[in-house]
Structure 1
């Protein structure tokens, strides 16, 4: 793998676990300098130790992304260390499965605060630094739930749909400053959070049959998309949402033998 991000400074929120850590490992392999933000202090320490032990230039901040002063401090520290921020990957978020009639005000606010408001804070704080430099690239990790919803995810899906609208509007505001912003809609990616489905002995195989490419996604799949979106190869791309889901949201692939559907014969 070439070091096409050599020397670039990449800030990754949610960078100590799951998709975020997969992104961190990809950018590390491409020669980037990394600032990892995560609310899980133990996971953050482990991620920083692993990457630095491999010779990666990396630092970390324990950050609740809904805490603007903490996000601002992390941005300031990144600038103190490396004088710039070339890219932001906003991967931090939370999920909860709960029927609409059972969602409490507290649950609604928590999901909105982290997934939507927290991402807004991250993007705004990093973009202010990028605007001073006149360049930058931002990738927001949304979800196929933005448009392909599931039961018992009304609050979560609302935030992911909101992120897509936010990215499109932000792209218009940030373009004059030389900043691009795009989103990625992951499908079912094998992480700790998705294990309730991917590792379920009954539901897992049943869902897997719905994925045209026949496998679960991996954090490395999302990392590859993020690597493209922040690279110069995507220099004319902004305000878009790239869906990485193995084809599951394309439609329904009917598993029938020829001629089995009513009105369909083999000689038509």
Structure 2
């Protein structure tokens, strides 16, 4: 075992869905920095192009494509196109999510369907289509984004939390089903990370400060602090890791309560 090369990704092809901003952008840049050829996919083509440009400016290999993960046929076509162009697909990362923060009893059917369709069904489309391609080639790493909300909740997070818990269970099922064919499936559970999804909280100082204080580091996380987990799960360093969720949450899920007792 050459431990120095365990995290290197030369010769690999990675599809990063949601790569136009936030954690997806940082993931694309980190994978490319470790040697992967990255296909940056996003519903906003211009955002994907900007990320691909950042990768190329740093000396990496990347291309930008448009992709709406709510369109299962489009996801299938994009995966097939990637494999056709590059001959393989080694890693698939899916990050897109939305949240409607309101009490469950106030949710409308339209809001429920919008959150569930993108967070759960859209994630399913990516995992299923990439999983099929990887199963055919006999190797690959599926990486889905869950959340601390898969484990802990607060008022207003019920539907979002349900989708994130569901993502973990899909990953576990895929790990069981595809493991014999050489494919790994894992989830990452970020804590509070400064991204476009959490931007509304930043505009409310008390809320923003309270979330930062819940971390044992007393601050929010950055997208690049999550990207390392993506590289790990894409690399040979995690060759015996499957069916699990890796929390990157600054200790949020480890620390009980909101009060430090006098000791």
Q: TM-score range by the shorter chain?
A: over 0.9
- Give the aligned partner of residue 176 of structure 2: 172
Question: Given the alignment of the two structures, is residue 150 of structure 1 paired with residue 144 of structure 2, yes or no?
Answer: no
CA separation in 2, counterparts of 1:221 and 1:53? 21
Higher helix share: 2
CA separation in 1, counterparts of 2:250 and 2:202? 14
Which of 121, 126, 129 does residue 125 from structure 1 map onto?
129
Cα displacement string for residues 57-92 of structure 1 (whole angstroms, at most 9, x for unaligned residues): 211221110101111121122112210000111112
Which of 135, 141, 155 does residue 139 from structure 2 map onto?
135
- Residue 247 (structure 1) shift: 0.6
Root-mean-square deviation (CA), in Å?
1.7
3-state SS of 2:123 partner: helix
- Residue 53 (structure 1) shift: 3.3
Which of 34, 37, 41 does residue 41 from structure 2 map onto?
37
CA separation in 1, counterparts of 2:164 and 2:78? 25
- Give the aligned partner of residue 214 of structure 2: 210
State whether residues 15 and 89 of structure 2, in contact with CA within 8 Å, keep that contact through their aligned partners in structure 1. yes
TM-score (structure 2 length as normaliser): 0.93
3-state SS of 1:65 partner: coil
- Residue 25 (structure 1) shift: 1.0
- Give the aligned partner of residue 236 of structure 1: 240
- Residue 199 (structure 1) shift: 5.0
- Give the aligned partner of residue 225 of structure 2: 221
- Residue 254 (structure 1) shift: 3.5
* Structure 1 residue ranges (4+ consecutive) displaced by more than 6 angstroms after TM superposition: none
- Give the aligned partner of residue 58 of structure 1: 62
- Residue 142 (structure 1) shift: 0.3
TM-score (structure 1 length as normaliser): 0.91
5+ residue gaps, structure 1: 259-268
CA separation in 1, counterparts of 2:103 and 2:127? 30
